[in-house]
Amino acid sequence: MNVDGKKAIVFGGTSGIGLATTRQLAALGATVVAVSRDPSKAGAPPAGVTLAKCDVLDRAAMETLFKQHTPFDILISAATGGTRAMGPFLEMNMDGYKASFDKLWGYANVVRYGASHLGKDGTIVLVSGAPARKCRPGQVSLSSVGASVEALVRAVAPEIAPRRINVVSPGSIDTPILALKGAERETLYKNITARNLIPRAGKAEEVAQAIVFLVQNDFVTGTTIDVDGGWLLS
């Protein structure tokens, strides 16, 4: 796919990986609708980018948004969906664990209500996470939700062909989702990436490059691209 002149909708497009993706697509000549629950915090959008408000768990609002912006060629979701439960499973608050799956339900809504607005050459990209296939202690919710996202992509790919759907699986990425600052932030990332083959946190821009690759490459569907610094091999 030549992105120049195409129209993209990016959920979670005003922060972190989604924002980096929005910027890269716009730089390649795409018209981008960057969607989040609170687009006002994104500031002034770059050229070619329009901001829109929508919660991925609000199906009615999502259907309205898609109708307003149809047709489009590229559909991406990097939206987290909500909070994530962490810690040992046998000590986990089960309501918190259930709430972690809001990410999956949000992605399911994006695909269910968005795919029909894509042309036959359209493409979808979602974001999972390295714990989906290599879970470290305290990451049961991340692992199960991420694995569900990847299973969803593989299951849906044959149904929507020739339209394509893929997923990017990041490792530890330095994004605003982590509230810590300064030395405390640096120490945390240093500790959680120490075993990686590339012992540092990734950048949102590096994950966005993989998303753009999956948008542009017309011969890839139903697959997962890892951008994890060697997480799976460590």
Domains, the chain, in order of start with CATH, read 7-175+203-227 (3.40.50.720)
User: Are the C-beta atoms of 76 and 11 separated by less than 8 Å?
Assistant: yes
pLDDT confidence tier of residue 17, bands split at 50, 70 and 90: very high
Q: How far is CA 174 from CA 37, 112, 132, 169, in A?
A: 21, 30, 19, 14
Adjacent-strand bridge partners of 224: 167
Express each pLDDT in 118-159 by its tens digit.
Answer: 999 999 999 999 999 999 999 999 999 999 999 999 999 999
Residue 46 has pLDDT above 90, yes or no: no
Q: What is the mean pLDDT of residues 213-232?
A: 97
pLDDT confidence tier of residue 58, bands split at 50, 70 and 90: very high
Dist. CA 167–CA 221, nearest whole Å: 9
- Cβ contacts of residue 77 below 8 Å, gap of 6+? 10, 11, 12, 18, 56, 106, 107, 110, 125, 126, 127
Residue 4 has pLDDT above 70, yes or no: yes
Express each pLDDT in 109-122 by its tens digit.
Answer: 999 999 999 999 99
Question: What is the pLDDT at residue 127?
Answer: 97
Residue 36 has pLDDT above 80, yes or no: yes
Dist. CA 213–CA 227, nearest whole Å: 12
Among residues 147, 137, 146, 149, the alpha carbon closest in space to that of 195 is found at 137
Among residues 39, 74, 61, the alpha carbon closest in space to that of 212 is found at 74
Express each pLDDT in 66-109 by its tens digit.
Answer: 999 999 999 999 998 778 899 999 999 999 999 999 999 999 99
The mean-pLDDT minimum among 8-17, 20-29, 168-177 falls in: 168-177
Dist. CA 110–CA 133, nearest whole Å: 23
Express each pLDDT in 182-219 by its tens digit.
Answer: 887 888 888 889 999 999 999 999 999 999 999 999 99
Question: What is the pLDDT at residue 178?
Answer: 66
Whether the upstream peptide bond of residue 46 has omega within 30° of 0, thus cis, is: no
- Antiparallel, parallel or unpaired: β 7-11 and 72-77: parallel
Q: Where are the beta strands (DSSP E) in 17-90?
A: 31-36, 49-53, 72-77
Adjacent-strand bridge partners of 118: 72
pTM above 0.85, yes or no: yes
Question: What is the pLDDT at residue 176?
Answer: 73
Q: What is the mean pLDDT of residues 30-42?
A: 91
Question: What's the mean pLDDT when you consider all of the chain?
Answer: 94
Buried b (16+ CB within 10 A) or exposed e, 117-149: bbeeebbbbbbbbbbbbebeeebbbbbbbbbbb
Residue 179 has pLDDT above 70, yes or no: no
